[in-house]
Structure 1
Amino acid sequence: MKRREFLKAAGVGVAASAAVAAPAVAQTMPEIKWRLVASWPKSLDTLYGGCEFFCQRIAELTDNKFQIQPFAAGELVGGLQVLDAVQAGNVEMGNTALYYYWGKNAAFTFGTSLPFGLNTRQHISWLRFGGGTELLNDLLKEYNCHGIPTGSTGAQMGGWFRNEIKSSADFKGLKFRVGGFAGTIVQRVGGVPQQIAAGDIYPALEKGTIDAAEWVGPYDDEKLGFQKVAKYYYYPGWWEGTGQGHNVINMAKWNELPKHYQAAVTAASHDAFTWVTGKYDYVNPPALKRLVANGALLRPFPQEVLEACYKAANDIYAEHAKTNKHFEKMHTSLTSYRSDSLAWNQVAELSFDSFMMRMRTRT
């Protein structure tokens, strides 16, 4: 073949290859637009900010081909209707605390925090390596959803009370805004639990519709203004040794995603965990100082109150485990891991933290 003819033929071959390859590449990076509804108002710039961060990461990981637009609580659906909206396919995904839906199944509480359960590090370890996520997704598939853990608040505060709590008797008749499954324990010790979305807590506390309210911790509580209407600030939030959030995704939409987009959603969710949890750990200490300086009265729950609630919690767990297969499986898995983890943490984390706390005022 003559040189000119060879080059001409080669050029046609290259052009043909490019024509075949270009559509294949385009097919692997389709343009997709989703909506994410959150349980959080925009004023909570760590929880809702974590949703914005997640959506930004998805765009970065897919060269802007996969766009997810976040919507705050109330913009498309109410803060406590996120799971329902995703399950129905009205939106593709949401970011929420699964324990909001304990009324559908009490086992949802394991997704966010089991009262007297695990701390933040223990919980994410159980979810990712102890089978917790698989157990939760076995439950979520009954609601046409797939779940991936995202940011955690860390251990939470016990909330704001109009009056001092001196014994468990002070819980009798107490109208207490408390998230998720913990309300059943509050009720068992005589309280009247109220589940109210973040944006509605302040007016309820201000008007006296409720006597006490918990939310997350100093940074968010300061933003919501609770210190203006209740002065006693209790700790610890025994119902939330962690406050684990989840991305919940409509199952059909999840299955339609290309595998590498599914991987991007998983990776961005894990990135959001670091972002949210790291930010809370950084902003809560100065916020607590400001609250105390402005008149908040910091109080620990009395030991008798903690023990009464602990006993009530374990009685309730035993009751649910008898009739709820999801609850029984998750409870068995979590408590088995917790026992070994606490023993290890007593040797390592607790001894180190205790020493550093004692030395804090000496340096």
Structure 2
Amino acid sequence: MDRRSIIKNAGIAGVLAAGVAPAVHAQAAVRWRLSSSFPKALDTIFGAAHIFSEKVKAMSGGKFEISVHAGGEITPPFGVVDAVQQGSVECAHTAPYYFFGKNEAFALGCAIPFGLNSRQMTAWMYEGNGLKLMREFYAKYSMINFPMGNTGAQMGGWYRKEIKTVKDLKGLKFRTGGFPGKVMEKLGVIPQNIPGGEIYTALEKGTIDAAEWVGPYDDQKLGFNKVAPFYYYPGWWEGGPQLDLYVNQKAYDALSPENKAILEAAASYAHVDMQAKYDGKNPNALKQLVGSGTKLRPFSNEILAAAFKAAEELYSELNDKNEDWKKIYADYSKFRADSNLWFRFTEAKFDSFMQSQKL
């Protein structure tokens, strides 16, 4: 009797007893490395990569593990795109606008001055054309992206002196994250693109005059209030900055369908979790900062109007010289206009009323 006859005529117990059970191919274990652009001290923005890694391991039953490495451990904080593109690491967690020097279109996957807020950004990605357009763009760099975190609207940074007019910005050496610096240059600012873990030292030593990072919770952890007294808002250049998981395309293509689904689901979980953490932790941190002497100040309408004009000028210039930007920004800007019209009649009115109440 041949093997197929045994399997056909015997029950499973008989097959096992005969010692000729069909081979069972267990899914091979997958081990990846993730390089982050952020320091370990920040349990929010760096921590999102750990949340992601833990979910991947849990959902795969331990068969898919991703080790997480802070900026500088494997690659420099701003070297993660090169590392993913070259396959030195399988994936990275970063802010896309850090890489505007490669192509300004990177910024559209993160935040641009006077761009989308966090909910609008998520909507553009998942319900608009954002994810499709950005993935077409990132394919040029041999990688695929997954939204993985958003800080929500950020603060406008820490300053050694008061900033009352546009003139006060001229000559200011200001640390900001990548692309926004191109708008600030038009206002006379001298932008400095410094990794998060190096900002405090630069501000303390006077290498820079001002700096922005995210918001109260992270800023308090990094100690900026100890070296600069004035804290401005809002961060008009970051209304809803999205963080991304970048994955090497070949590494992604080699995954099983199950592991691809796990990767996507874990990134989505971390995406929601990050903003929940910021929204939950920032209020108390802001109270503590103000209570310890921080001088909270709004940017004047003059500054906001001048910055908006400068941003629109920049986007027009980029439309004329960068085809990647032009293609993606056309869709982005239309989505922004439609979304703001909707928010104007719902979120904005509701929020402004509630925030004026004494609760």
Both proteins in one fold, TM over 0.5 = yes
Matched residue of 1:80: which SS?
Answer: helix
Give yes or no for contact 1:218–1:288 (8 Å, CA) kept in 2.
Answer: yes
Q: 1:302 to 1:259 in 2, by over 3 A?
A: same
Partner SS state of residue 296, structure 2 = strand
1:40: which partner in 2? Answer: 38
Tell me the distance in 2 between the aligned counterparts of 1:145 and 1:16.
49
Q: CA offset at residue 15 of structure 1?
A: 5.6
Report which of the two has the higher share of helix: 1
Alignment of 1:260-299 (within 5 A): 260-299=258-297
Question: Which amino acid counterpart does residue 210 of structure 1 have in structure 2?
Answer: I
Q: Aligned-pair distance for 1:355?
A: 1.7
**Separation (CA, whole Å) in 1 of partners of 2:10 and 2:37:** 61
Map residues 78-93 of structure 1 onto 2, 5 A cutoff.
Answer: 78-93=76-91
Q: Percent sequence identity over matched residues?
A: 46
**Separation (CA, whole Å) in 2 of partners of 1:259 and 1:102:** 32
Instruction: From the superposition, tell whether residues 207 and 13 of structure 1 become closer, same or farther in structure 2 (CA, over 3 Å).
Output: same
Q: What is aligned with 1:112?
A: 110
1:320 equivalent in structure 2: 318
Offset of residue 115 of structure 1: 0.9
How far the C-alpha of 1:321 sits from its partner, in A, is 0.8
Contact 1:135 1:326 (8 Å CA) reproduced: no
Mark the runs of 5 or more structure 1 residues left unpaired by the alignment. Answer: none
Which stretches in structure 2 are left out of the alignment for 5+ residues?
Answer: 1-5
Q: 1:178 aligns with which of 160, 176, 193?
A: 176
Amino acid at match of 1:207: K
Aligned to 2:247, what secondary structure does the other structure show? Answer: strand
SS across alignment from 2:329 = helix
TM-score (norm 2): 0.95
Structure 1 equivalent of residue 3 of structure 2: none
Contact 2:15 2:21 in 1 (8 A): no
> 2:240, 2:65 → 1: CA distance?
30
Equivalent of residue 337 in structure 2, options 331, 339, 349? 339
How many residue pairs match? The answer is 353
Question: Which residue identity does 1:286 align to in structure 2?
Answer: N
4+ runs deviating over 4 angstroms: 14-18
Tell me how far apart the structure 1 counterparts of residues 295 and 17 of structure 2 sit (CA, whole Å). Answer: 75
1:221-249 deviation line (CA, Å, top 9, x unaligned): 00000000001000000000012100001
CA contact (8 A) 1:188 1:312 kept: yes
Aligned to 1:138: 136
Instruction: Tell me how far apart the structure 2 counterparts of residues 296 and 135 of structure 1 sit (CA, whole Å).
Output: 42
SS at match of 2:35: strand
Q: What corresponds to 1:190 in structure 2?
A: 188
The 1-side partners of 2:18 and 2:132 are apart by 46
